Amino acid sequence: MSRVCELTGKGPMSGNMISHANNKTRRRFLPNLNEVTLMSDVLGKSFSLRISAAALRTVDHRGGLDAFLAKAKDDELSTNALKIKRDIEKAQAAA
């Protein structure tokens, strides 16, 4: 599994660990990823996604998975999340 958020595209970053003696060694900053199940109101189904804690707060703030995906850019979403977004758009157009 890659260490990338499925909704925001947030991935590992690199930087330096700096010791008390100011020695610098390379390190990786990994995103805080969680396996969560989110419910789509339009489709009436739940989806299991691996997203960051920041993305989970944003989904909650925007009012759910459907509202988040409506505003999300397609290039940031994973293929799984992009498929969910397309299904939601089709269901809303049919209703």
- pTM, two decimals, is 0.88
The pLDDT, as a whole number, for residue 95 is 81
Domains of the chain: 13-94 (2.30.170.40)
pLDDT range class, residue 39, cuts 50, 70, 90:
very high
The pLDDT, as a whole number, for residue 24 is 98
Residue 1 has pLDDT above 80, yes or no: no
Residue 10 has pLDDT above 80, yes or no: yes
Who wins on pLDDT, 1 or 77? 77
Closest CA to 67 of 4, 3, 7: 7
The pLDDT, as a whole number, for residue 2 is 87
Q: How far apart are CA 24 and CA 45, in angstroms?
A: 48
